[in-house]
Amino acid sequence: MGSKIDYALELLEGAPLEYLKSLSKDRLFEIDEIRLRANRPMTLSIGGKDIIADGVAVTPEMIDRVFKNAFNYSLHSYPRELSSGYVTARGGNRVGICGTAVISQESASVSAVKKISSVNIRIAREIKGCAAEVAERCLFGGLCGILVTGPPSSGKTTLLRDLCRIIGNRFRISLIDEQNEIAAVWQCVPQNDVGVLTDVFTGYPKPAGVEAAIRTMSPRAVIVDEIGTPGDVEALGYALHSGAALITAVHAVSFEEALKKPAVIKLMKENAFGCAAELSRQRSVRVVKID
């Protein structure tokens, strides 16, 4: 089985591929994103910095190859992904596309993208063990609800993924992976380790996914990505009243700020969480026990 960067390289050809293959292994594994823009040089994102690969010209044909490879040369099989502008590729890497929108006359929304002008290959990251302390402190004495809080880019999804792995190796759980960011399912198989006892509901809106999980899989816990809408709260309430523990995340600078959000207020009234994991932009974690 190849590494995630190896799978990303399989999507490429020509000068971009040769350039990347010339880099040291250590440098390759530092890459977060590979961006191709038609008739412009390839760029790399490393540690939050954009690096221009001078002299590595990108042609429209190269972009077309990446685009079709990512969709397995079967665009009709991915209508949701085409309308969303991204697809999960082999290894769990996410390929984002940019081009001309096709607007549905019925819904006035984007139904597909054509004339692809740029693609972004985002390398999937798993940090196994990053949630070990949270799991040890929050799950001491049994399974309980966990609320992960943090600002954007603080690592909420990464922490949820590792919590899913740890808990899913001990308890029967259901993962409602609406954006396919946690499990990164590709051809029916999670490309990330989410635990051997985890059932993955990919692409389901949270209400539909939670209802299906409770009715069909009898999970001990339900894990969903970031919540916020009234529908999300109603769905989680349904799971809670069915006896499942809840593990989810919310955008908030601090745990105290999260407590002011309507979605969290309602779930707290239901005693949905036994503890919280507060993340900062520096990726530090503070565990808060909830009485």
In 131-177, alpha helices (H): 132-138, 156-168
Taking the complete model, does pTM exceed 0.85, yes or no?
no
Task: Report the pLDDT value the prediction gives residue 141, as an integer from 0 to 100.
Answer: 81
Q: Which of 145, 93, 142 is nearest to 119 (CA)?
A: 93
Fold of the domain spanning 132-289:
Rossmann fold (3.40.50)
Residue 241: which H helix or E strand, with range? helix 230-241
Mean pLDDT estimate for the chain: 92
User: CATH assignment of 4-122?
Assistant: 3.30.450.90
Q: For 38-192, where are the E strands, in sequence order?
A: 41-46, 49-57, 86-88, 94-103, 110-122, 146-150, 173-177, 185-186, 189-190
Task: Report the pLDDT value the prediction gives residue 230, as an integer from 0 to 100.
Answer: 86
Please, what's the b/e burial string for 163-178 (b: 16 or more CB within 10 A of its CB; e: otherwise)? bbbbbbeebbbbbbbb
Is the per-residue pLDDT at 172 higher than 90?
yes
Please, what's the b/e burial string for 130-144 (b: 16 or more CB within 10 A of its CB; e: otherwise)? bbeebbeebbeeebb
Which tens digits make up the pLDDT trace of 105-132?
A: 787 788 788 899 999 999 988 899 999 9
Residues 76, 91: Cα–Cα separation, whole Å: 22
Contact 287, 277 (CB under 8 A): yes
Residues 23, 25: Cα–Cα separation, whole Å: 6
* Per-domain boundaries in the chain: 4-122, 132-289
Which tens digits make up the pLDDT trace of 67-88?
A: 999 988 777 778 888 888 899 9
Task: Report the pLDDT value the prediction gives residue 152, as an integer from 0 to 100.
Answer: 84
Tell me which of 19 and 152 has the higher pLDDT. Answer: 19
Task: Report the pLDDT value the prediction gives residue 105, as an integer from 0 to 100.
Answer: 78
Which tens digits make up the pLDDT trace of 219-275?
A: 999 999 988 888 888 989 999 999 999 999 999 999 999 999 999 999 999 999 999
